[in-house]
Amino acid sequence: MMTFKAGVAALALSVSALGAHAADGQVTFLNWITAEPSNAPVMTGLIEETGVPVDVLSSAWGDMQKTVFLRIRTKQPLDVYQAQERWLPTFAQMPDVVDFNELYGEEQLAAMFPPEVLAAGQVQGRQVGMPWNIGSISLVSNRKVLEPAGVSEPPATIADFVADLEKVKAANPNSTPYAMMTKGDDLVTSDFQLWLWAFGGSIFDENGQPVVDSEATVQTLDFMKDLVDRGLAALDVDRGAARRMFGQGESAYYFDAPVAKGFAEDFSGEGEAFVKYVYPIPMPVAEAGMTPHSMEWGHLLVMRKTDEGMVDGALSAESPSAKLISGLTMNDEIQLEYFQKLGAIPVTKSARASDIVTSDQYIVDWNASLGMPKLNELASLKDSANYVGIVSEEVQSAMLGKKDATAAAADMQARIEKLMN
């Protein structure tokens, strides 16, 4: 039987008993999907379908890393937890993290999953994250907002994109045409990188050296600030707010993963009838002919070496923790149900080849919009959170007008170099 604990997992700390986790056949699973009211019933059902007794703990996405570390430090139960691919380098340093190559077998995983899917969960040759939902962060457009404003074609260039925003603002002065992420370090740095790549820049060169003090960075920061100053974007917007604004017709564009469809259905109040308005598009670029880039993205599951992962004192694929993970990630029926109900792209080769996936026009459009996906430049760094904090602080200082773009770019470079040394 599954126990479902609503609310953030941090609240559960005050009522959970401290001390070592004795094996009881029930897996303690921390995730953020069940913290999202529109998605919780579906995910609860999918977990139940695995047949594994689970104690579900819910955390807001922004609190996940903190909650994981807090539960481990205070010796509270935690067997399996959800992770963003960008957090794995930090989690991989923890001594109790399972390498799924050893648990399930490297050859078996290679036979079941595409190599690019497995790569999202790999750190230094170890499979520390089990792929659960792998896709990209791409630009999503709302045709229900754009078409009445006279916009019928996706913007090819950044200038075209701004012109679209101006048309939407003129048609609906109370709108926020682009729901740019301006709140939350991970989100701010994600949007910044996507636009930096669109202007032809990057944070690091091919040798891993910082090159963010560049004209492309200055252009990106000026661009982002100008959007806020003109009311084409707004401050204090995180992913949750952006999804709501998009679904309720307050915004025409924002960045999200393929699950954008499910959120749009829910927030629009129209359900599946709204899907026809949700259209992923290639990233606009500074000049025609440049290669558009989306950002590689993924949700993964991490397993700890706890009693619930053991059989007869040894890690085992037959343990409750391992069966929960294999049920959610390797069972095609569950994966396809996750896709149909929440828009999460399946991870196994066989599920991806299903007619259910290949006949879905939204996914066909999504795959056509990717351009050349790139990894988040900050995700794989040791002490990634510190780099993310630096970039976010400098981006926000420029957007708020506390520094001009040139100074913010120079300070970003200097602070990254200091952290690296």
Q: Which two tokens stand for residue 143?
A: 């045709």
Query: What is the third-level CATH fold of 136-295+366-420?
Result: D-Maltodextrin-Binding Protein; domain 2 (3.40.190)
CATH code, 3-135+297-365: 3.40.190.10
CA pair distance 320, 230, nearest whole angstrom: 54
pLDDT at 23: 54
pLDDT at 259: 86
Q: Residue 272: exposed, middle, or buried by beta-carbon count in 10 A (0-12, 13-18, 19+)? A: exposed
Residue 382 banded pLDDT, cuts 50, 70, 90 = confident
Q: HSE of 61 in the Cβ direction (CA atoms, 13 Å)?
A: 14
- What kind and span of H or E run contains 134? strand 130-142
Residue 16 predicted with pLDDT over 80: no
CB 69 within 8 A of CB 93: no
Residue 343 banded pLDDT, cuts 50, 70, 90 = confident
CB 60 within 8 A of CB 66: no
- What kind and span of H or E run contains 138? strand 130-142
Per residue in 243-291, pLDDT tens? 999 999 999 999 999 889 989 999 999 998 999 999 999 999 999 999 9
Residue type, position 132, single letter:
W
Per residue in 106-133, pLDDT tens? 999 999 999 888 988 998 899 999 999 9
* Whether the predicted model's global pTM rises above the 0.95 cut: no
pLDDT at 383: 82
Q: Do domains 3-135+297-365 and 136-295+366-420 have the same CATH topology?
A: yes
Residue 228 banded pLDDT, cuts 50, 70, 90 = very high
Residue spans per domain, the chain: 3-135+297-365, 136-295+366-420
Q: What is the mean pLDDT of residues 295-299?
A: 87
Please tell me what DSSP assigns to residue 312: T
Residue 24 predicted with pLDDT over 80: no
Question: If you average pLDDT over every residue of the chain, what do you get?
Answer: 91
